[in-house]
């Protein structure tokens, strides 16, 4: 999907406001990368574009050192989380042990989802950016436990094909020297089930990973760039362990979520890679 998006400048305006708030938090105290060419804050985690849909009223853009996301206050979780992944993100840090954390960088008046909202719900606190993918410093790891990076996932999915795709991405980034740009989030029905104080439960999940060579960026994406894309059911029943059974095109995901992904990739290239479902393997 390529279309004019007038709401994008509102999102950017909002992101400035939210980033002011981030400056007060321990986790987000470091300055964001600024692209001198464009003159606006440009996070590496948004290098392939800021996913946007037709309604920006439920998109609060949070740009952190460790990842970027669009938070939906009506659903109590992210619309999407977007992050860069390469070998530098893996380190010696042990997994944080403690309760998942309310995200205090959200604007005043927005409910901060709490660890307890998931208690007894029957759903895992499902990481979008996986804990293991941010193990270079304790701050990086703890940031993945902010509840703005978390959505309710069935254990069958979280420990099944979702984990399998995480492991594939980690292998590419960590052992095979690749540069990944990843986007993940939920897919919702019109009236989703709700847990705790207003955390909507997705019907399904999506994940897209664009696989480049280390150091490459959006200008290096071609029609032969590998793109992993999958859509998984969020169900309490046994699902295939392998993620490849759930491969779809990026176009199918865009249609399901209503967001334009990979929007900063050249439009002819974008159209081509989004229409293709990876085969084989």
Q: How far is the CB of 262 from Mn ion (least distance, A)?
A: 5
Contacting Mn ion within 7-26 (CB under 5 A): none
Choose the binding region for Mn ion from 23-31, 54-62, 121-129, 176-184 (rule: CB under 5 A): 121-129
Binding mask 75-94 for Mn ion (x = CB under 5 A): --------------------
Helices within 146-259 (DSSP H only): 155-158, 161-174, 250-257
DSSP state of 132: G
Does position 127 interact with Mn ion (CB under 5 A)? The reply is yes
The nearest distance, CB 31 to Mn ion, in angstroms, is 29
Nearer to Mn ion, 214 or 226 (CB): 226
Inter-CA distances, 261 with 52, 156, 227, 274, Å = 8, 27, 12, 9
Smaller CB separation from Mn ion, 19 or 166: 166
Q: How far is the CB of 239 from Mn ion (least distance, A)?
A: 14
- Is the separation of the CB atoms in 268 and 198 below 8 Å? no
127 part of the active site: yes
x/- map, 221-260, Mn ion, by CB under 5 A? ---------------------------------------x
Which residues make Cβ contacts (< 8 Å) with residue 207, sequence separation at least 6?
162, 165, 182, 183, 184, 228, 229, 230, 232
CB of 109 to Mn ion, least distance (A): 30
Helix (H) or strand (E) holding 81: strand 77-85
- Give the number of other Cβ atoms within 10 Å of residue 231's Cβ: 18
Could you say which of 33, 127, 155, 236 is catalytic?
127
Name residues contacting Mn ion, limited to 138-167 (CB under 5 A): 158
Rg of the chain on CA atoms, in Å:
17
Q: Read off φ and ψ for residue 43, nearest 5 degrees.
A: -80, 145
Task: Report how far residue 73's alpha carbon sits from residue 55's, in angstroms, rounded to the nearest whole number.
Answer: 13
**Number of chain positions touching Mn ion (CB under 5 A):** 5
**Least distance from Mn ion to the Cβ atom of residue 51, Å:** 8
- Three-state DSSP state, 179: strand
Residues acting as catalytic residues: 127
Which stretches of the chain bind Mn ion, using CB under 5 A?
127, 158, 260-262
């Amino acid at each position: 999907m390529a279309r004019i998006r007038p709401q994008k400048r509102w999102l950017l305006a909002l992101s400035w406001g939210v980033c002011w708030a981030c400056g007060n938090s321990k986790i987000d105290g470091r300055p964001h990368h600024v692209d001198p060419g464009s003159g606006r804050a440009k996070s590496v985690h948004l290098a392939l574009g800021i996913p946007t849909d037709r309604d920006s009223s439920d998109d609060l853009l949070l740009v952190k050192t460790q990842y970027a996301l669009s938070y939906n206050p009506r659903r109590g979780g992210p619309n999407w989380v977007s992050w860069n992944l390469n070998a530098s993100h893996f380190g010696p840090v042990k997994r944080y042990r403690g309760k998942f954390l309310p995200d205090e960088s959200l604007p005043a008046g927005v409910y901060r989802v709490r660890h307890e909202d998931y208690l007894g719900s029957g759903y895992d606190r499902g990481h979008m950016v996986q804990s293991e993918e941010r193990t270079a410093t304790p701050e990086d790891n703890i940031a993945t436990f902010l509840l703005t990076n978390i959505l309710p996932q069935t254990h069958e999915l979280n420990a099944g094909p979702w984990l399998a795709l995480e492991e594939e991405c980690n292998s590419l980034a960590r052992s095979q020297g690749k540069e990944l740009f990843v986007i993940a989030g939920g897919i919702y029905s019109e009236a989703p089930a709700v847990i705790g104080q207003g955390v909507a439960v997705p019907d399904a999940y999506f994940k897209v990973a664009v696989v480049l060579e280390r150091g490459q960026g959006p200008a290096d994406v071609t029609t032969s760039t590998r793109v992993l894309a999958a859509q998984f059911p969020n169900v309490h029943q046994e699902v295939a362990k392998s993620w490849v059974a759930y491969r779809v095109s990026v176009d199918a995901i865009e249609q399901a979520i209503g967001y334009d992904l990979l929007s900063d990739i050249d439009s002819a290239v974008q159209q081509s890679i989004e229409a293709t479902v990876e085969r084989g393997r």
